[in-house]
Amino acid sequence: MKKFVNDPQQFVAEMLKGIALANPGTLKYVPEYNLIMRSDAPSDDKVSIVQGSGSGHEPAHVMIVGKGMLDAACPGDVFAAPPMDYVLETSKLLNSAKGVLHIINNYTGDRMAFDMGREMAEADGVTIGTLIVDDDVAVKDSTYTVGRRGVAGNFFVIKAVGAASERGADLDELLRIGNKVNSVTRTMGMALTSCTPPAKGSPLFELGEDEMEMGVGIHGEPGRRREKLASANAIVDELLEAVVSDLPFSQGDEVALMINGLGGTPISELYLLYGYAHEQLTKRGINVRRNYVGEYCTSLDMAGTSITLSRLDDEITELLAAPAQVAIRTF
């Protein structure tokens, strides 16, 4: 798979520079820490919300910094956790009288970096709360995880706490909301193709022309099993069954349904998947009240998708519907 790249070592830095140049009034770029932050952050009226993780999952997380979402993101290199000093310096720069909230997708490398960064920042007087997202039902423990992985469901957690933080919610309230959203959110993904990290220049793993990886992780790590390539509807059936039966979601539930593209799948195909998923949920008596079709958490140029369901109550629905303003396209 060919890519737009100059020096692979500068891939992340050049992307971050582009984000900053495209958002001159609202975002600030601090190259020393791969840091993209709101120009108007921190504010003592608001908890600062920070996420790190590896790069290669865009728009997560550097492209969802903005009003009503993240206050800052400090990614590592492609598929690599941010160094702990990025976490430390970001936490200090974003320090607010109301504290700082770290949101971590459950991957061992990210947790280590954030645990150590947090400890050091706390020693410097920063008050920090931590939310762990672990929405992926595919596997219990995995190549890079103890416990379930955190993937696209992360978006719902960030959207909800981002909205609440704009209204002045304190750290405890954000932890309550974030943990609640995470507890009712479930995801499973699958890959049609591998992905190619810029520094490697070749696919991360091999997948035959008639194969797909069911339950794939967002770094190409193995999922539940490799299967014969199936029809779009059969793929949706398998992903939905895994997600619905896990919480479980049941008749009468109101949900947000996300069809997430993994980077190389065109939006036409995502809407085709959405139509069938929506119909199948309706048949189960599960009511799709909000929908999200597009790229939210990708794996570079991987062709594939993940399906996320989040069970709604009035509080979550209202927070998801609140306005937000981020780097990626708005008309």
298 makes contact with a second copy (CB under 8 A): yes
229 makes contact with a second copy (CB under 8 A): yes
* Binding span for a second copy by CB under 8 A among 17-25, 46-54, 124-132, 310-318: 17-25
Among 297, 316, 266, 270, residue whose Cα is nearest residue 136: 297
232 makes contact with a second copy (CB under 8 A): yes
Burial of 123 (0-12, 13-18, 19+ CB in 10 A): exposed
Q: Which of 21, 97, 112, 146 binds a second copy (CB under 8 A)?
A: 21
Rounded distance between C-alpha atoms, residue 118 and residue 107, angstroms: 16
The answer to whether residue 57 is catalytic is yes
Rounded distance between C-alpha atoms, residue 309 and residue 305, angstroms: 13
Residues present in the chain in total:
331
CB 131 within 8 A of CB 157: yes
* Binding span for a second copy by CB under 8 A among 40-48, 90-98, 146-154, 274-282: 274-282
Amino acid at 42: P
What is the nearest approach in angstroms of a second copy to the Cβ of residue 155? 10
Rounded distance between C-alpha atoms, residue 169 and residue 150, angstroms: 24
Residues 6+ apart with CB under 8 A from 325: 26, 66, 67, 68, 69
Query: Please, which residue, 50 or 64, has the CB nearer to a second copy?
Result: 64
Q: Which of 33, 86, 144, 276 binds a second copy (CB under 8 A)?
A: 276
Pairing relationship of beta strands 66-67 and 325-326 according to DSSP bridges: antiparallel
Q: 108-123 and 84-93 helices cross at what angle (nearest 10)?
A: 50
Helices and strands (DSSP H and E) totals, the chain: 8, 14
What is the nearest approach in angstroms of a second copy to the Cβ of residue 64? 9
152 makes contact with a second copy (CB under 8 A): no
Query: Please, which residue, 105 or 305, has the CB nearer to a second copy?
Result: 305
Rounded distance between C-alpha atoms, residue 165 and residue 324, angstroms: 12
DSSP 3-state of 272:
helix
Query: Please, which residue, 84 or 242, has the CB nearer to a second copy?
Result: 242
CB 212 within 8 A of CB 190: yes
* Binding span for a second copy by CB under 8 A among 90-98, 119-127, 172-180, 259-267: 259-267
79 makes contact with a second copy (CB under 8 A): no
Q: Which of 159, 186, 219, 311 binds a second copy (CB under 8 A)?
A: 159
* Binding span for a second copy by CB under 8 A among 86-94, 171-179, 272-280, 309-317: 272-280
Q: Which of 25, 209, 228, 252 binds a second copy (CB under 8 A)?
A: 209
Residues 6+ apart with CB under 8 A from 236: 273, 276, 277, 280, 307
Q: Cα 314 from chain centroid?
A: 23
Q: Which residue is catalytic, options 57, 61, 102, 278?
A: 57
The answer to whether residue 219 is catalytic is yes
Rounded distance between C-alpha atoms, residue 184 and residue 288, angstroms: 15
Query: Please, which residue, 142 or 298, has the CB nearer to a second copy?
Result: 298
Query: Please, which residue, 32 or 329, has the CB nearer to a second copy?
Result: 329
Q: 154-166 and 171-183 helices cross at what angle (nearest 10)?
A: 150
* Binding span for a second copy by CB under 8 A among 58-66, 140-148, 165-173, 306-314: 58-66
Query: Please, which residue, 6 or 251, has the CB nearer to a second copy?
Result: 6
Name the site residues for a second copy (rule: CB under 8 A). Answer: 1-6, 11, 14-22, 55-56, 58-59, 63, 68-69, 159, 192-193, 209, 212, 229, 231-233, 235, 263-276, 278-279, 291-295, 298, 300-301, 303, 305, 323-326, 328-331
Catalytic residues: 57, 219
